[in-house]
Amino acid sequence: MMIQEILVFITFLIAVGFLVKKFFWKSPKKATGSESACGKSDCGCH
């Protein structure tokens, strides 16, 4: 039971970290460069 609690906690932190990185720490150049477009690479719109 304890292990499962720890796993949930770690997964939660990873998820929060991913979203923060995605929406707040992402390099603007990478997110909006001319290469970025739906269908070619992840444009960050989803």
Partner 1 sequence: MPKQINVALIGNPNTGKTSVFNHLTGLNQQVGNYPGITVEKKEGICKLPRGLKAHILDLPGTYSLNASSLDENIVIELLLNKNDKDYPDVAVVVSDVENLKRNLLLFTQIKDLGIPTILVINMADRMERKGISLDVELMEKRLKTKIALVSARKKTGIEELKELIINYRQISSEPCVNASTIAPDYFDRLRKAFPNQSLYKLWLVITQDVNFGNLNRKTLEQTSDFQTKEKSELKRLQQKETIVRYQFINGVLKETFKKDITTAKDLRSRLDRVLTHQVWGYFIFFGILLLIFQAIYDWSSYPMDLIDTTFAFLGEWTKEVLPAGVFTNLISEGIIPGLGGIVIFIPQIAFLFLFISLLEESGYMSRVVFLMDRVMRRFGLSGKSVVPLVSGTACAIPAVMATRNIEDWKERLITILVVPFTTCSARLPVYLIIIALVIPNERVLGIFNLQGLTLMLLYLLGFGMSVFSAWVLDKILKIKSKTYFVIEMPDYKLPLFKNVAINVVEKTKSFVFGAGKIILAISIILWVLASYGPGDDFDNAEAIVTEQYGKNLSQEDFEKHVGSVKLENSYIGMMGKGIEPVVRPLGYDWKIGIAIVSSFAAREVFVGTLATIYSVGSDEEKTIKDRMAAETNPVLGGPLFNFASGISLLLFYAFAMQCMSTLAIVKRETNSWKWPILQLFVMSGIAYVAALTAFQLLK
Which positions touch partner 1 (CB under 8 A)?
A: 1, 3-5, 7-8, 11-12, 14-16, 18-19, 22-23, 28, 31-32, 34, 36-46
Find the shortest distance in angstroms from Cβ 14 to partner 1: 8
Find the shortest distance in angstroms from Cβ 4 to partner 1: 4
List, in order, residues 6 or more apart from 18 with CB less than 8 Å away: none
Q: Which tokens go with 20? A: 């923060």
Q: Which tokens go with 7? A: 């796993």
Tokens 């932190």 — which residue? 13
Find the shortest distance in angstroms from Cβ 6 to partner 1: 9
